[in-house]
Structures are given as structure tokens and as C-alpha cells.
Copies of this chain bind each other. A is one copy, B any other.
Amino acid sequence: MIAYALLGGPQDCWPANIKQIFQAAKEKNDLIIGVDRGSLLLTEMGVMPDLAIGDFDSLHLAEKNEIEAKVTDIRYSNPVKDFTDTELMVRAALNDYRVAGLKIFGATGGRLDHFLANLYLVFAADIRRSAEKIVLLDKQNVLQFYLPGKHRIVAKKGYSYFGVAALGAVKDLNIRGARYSLKNYSSPYPCIFTSNEFLPGQPYFNLSFTSGLIALIFAKDIDRYYNLDEKKS
């Protein structure tokens, strides 16, 4: 079972087809999770979450009542909290529901402290070992986490670029078989190699490193280039 979670990040950063994504997931009986305001946003899409997490303080009473009436598993977080709602959600999905994968939407855009908290939650020891199950998605990025080892990274249709980010210290980072390669790179600090590309006719590259935590970002340009294309035509 895969989990699809919606957080409260700004809607203009979501993929355009998010409703279809969640409806298809619901039909396949995958786990649907709403985090705080994300629960309400899911119900507005006609997708009732299986699990709702949050303090729900930002919701109108009628909205809160609807969530409470219809969602089977509701977990209330403490507004003055040691853990973010997203951390609670990730732990519930991984530990209680034992999902094979966790796709998180609404984790980007808006407040940067929220985004960095979503990005850094993989450093919690119990989440870290399952980091490779977690994916953050928005309208122009797919961010996957990788643990030390050797990985074959396969191209994702529609994403022209990828970036390799070491979120902390990294040792012996190698990128082989991509447009820009990297050999035995180590850094005591975070670093990123942006705008790399797959080679023509080779829809994969090899990533390896011996310690650290990598965020691999599949990215595409949108919006602003539409304007440019109009000007060019």
C-alpha cells in the first residue's frame, strides 16, 4: 500500500492534476492522509481522507465537524508541540500503516520554515531509515531521498533537469552517466549540483555515496517560459 498525503502548502504549487491523483489513489484503495488544513482540502476535492492529523485549529467548526464525522482515524496534535504535524503523519504512515511508499503533496511553497521542516524531517533517526520511501511532489518538482549506497536513477517523463543535493555532510559522491558527472566528491557542508540532465538515449544515471543523505530533485521549468515562448513565436 502506498500513502498519498496532502499538507496545507499553497494550492498554486500543487500539480494541476492533483484531484485526479488523489481520486485514482482512493479508487486503488491506497491510503489517503490529510494533514491539518489538507484534510479539508481533500474533502473539497471529493476525496475523504482515511487518516487526518492536526490540531484543526485553523478550521471552521462546521469543517471540523465534517472531518470528525467522516474520517475513521483522526489524530489530534498538540498546537504547542515538539513534533510538527508532518512528522506525526510520516511516523503514522511508516510505523502504524507500514506503507511501502509515501507521496507528500502541499509540502512546498509558502513559508520557508515549513518547507525546511518538511525537508529535514528525514533526519529524525526513525524516519531516516525509511527515507527512500518518501517523495515530495509539487507542480514542477519531484524530490526523492537516498541513503548511502549505489543507486540507478531512472529519468522521469516531463522532467528535463535533475539536481543532486547533499542535505548535510557527504562522502564520496559520484554521478556517472549523466550530462555532468562527479567523482568522489566529499563535503562537510550541504551542497547541490543543479540542472543536470540525462544523456540522449540513456534514461538513467548512477548515483553513489558512502555517507550522508541525498535529495534528488527532478525539476521542470514552467510558467515563465510559457511567456517567453509566446514572445518568441
- Count of identical protomers in the assembly: 2
- Contact assessment for A165 and B113 in the assembled complex, using a CB-CB cutoff below 8 Å: yes
Q: How far is the CA of A212 from the CA of B114 in the complex (A)?
A: 21
Chain B residues whose C-beta falls within 8 Å of the C-beta of A140 in the assembled complex: 110-111
Q: How far is the CB of A165 from chain B (nearest CB, A)?
A: 5
Q: How far is the CB of A27 from chain B (nearest CB, A)?
A: 28
- Contact assessment for B219 and A111 in the assembled complex, using a CB-CB cutoff below 8 Å: yes
- Contact assessment for A225 and B58 in the assembled complex, using a CB-CB cutoff below 8 Å: yes
Question: Which of B113, B169, B231 is within 8 Å of A219, CB to CB?
Answer: B113
Residue of B nearest to A80 (CB): B180
- Contact assessment for A192 and B8 in the assembled complex, using a CB-CB cutoff below 8 Å: no
Residue of B nearest to A219 (CB): B111
Question: Which of A90-98, A116-124, A201-209 lies at the interface?
Answer: A116-124
Chain B residues whose C-beta falls within 8 Å of the C-beta of A120 in the assembled complex: 165, 189-192
Chain B residues whose C-beta falls within 8 Å of the C-beta of A224 in the assembled complex: 8, 10-11, 37, 110
Please encode chain A, from 213 to 230, with 1 for each CB lying within 8 Å of some chain B CB and 0 for all others: 101010111111100100
Residue of B nearest to A195 (CB): B113
Q: In residues 118-171 of chain A, which contact B (Cβ within 8 Å)?
A: 120, 123, 138, 140-141, 143, 161-163, 165, 167-169
A-B pairs, 8 with minimum CB distance: A113-B163, A113-B194, A123-B189, A111-B219, A112-B141, A113-B217, A116-B192, A117-B194
14 contacts between A and B (CB under 8 A): A8-B224, A10-B224, A37-B224, A58-B228, A112-B219, A113-B141, A113-B162, A113-B217, A114-B194, A116-B163, A120-B192, A167-B189, A168-B189, A189-B213
